[in-house]
Amino acid sequence: MIKTDPNLIKTLETDALWLVVHPVKTFDDQIHEIYPWLRAETINFSKRIDHYLENVKYKAISAPTPALSIFNQYANLSSSTELSNYLVRHTLSNIVYCGFHYGFCILNDPEVGAKIMKKYYNCFVKKDICQLAWEADWNDRDTATRPHAKII
């Protein structure tokens, strides 16, 4: 179980960019055929994320393909340049990752993933608003995440 200091969460709500990774509305045909429930699950989980982030000051998505309309009011920061410019403009040094998928895209996105951004910013992952990829294991993904971001 992850124990997080409530004061840290409160601080990050105003002093961090909360980045929702890959809240996309389309999946390739092969994925849709294997996991036909995935689109509905993604929509429902996205609503949960949006609700959780209601009081967060700085929030954005990173969606290289069309994003779910739930996130229309969020900035879309899909490149490292866009992300860095946003953080500099708002004088932020913390990124809180959430979204899709825990321990995979959140870490490995070639533009905005925590593996890259940890070199320049303090990186956190809010685990309870991350979705686990199909056929993945929470403990394995915790192990993959820890070297790159603090799990909160």
pLDDT value for 30? 80
pLDDT value for 2? 60
Is a pLDDT exceeding 80 seen at residue 144?
yes
pLDDT digits (tens, 9 = 90+) for 71-101: 999 999 999 999 999 999 999 999 999 999 9
Instruction: Return the closest-CA partner of residue 129 out of 109, 112, 145, 152.
Output: 152
Q: Return the structure tokens found at 111.
A: 């533009």
Q: Which residue has the higher pLDDT, 133 or 97?
A: 97
- What's the length of the chain? 152
**Cβ 89 vs Cβ 83: under 8 Å:** no
Per residue, the 3-state secondary structure of 99-146, as one string, reads EECCCCHHHHCCCCCHHHHCCCCEEEEEEEEEECCCCCCHHHHHHHHC
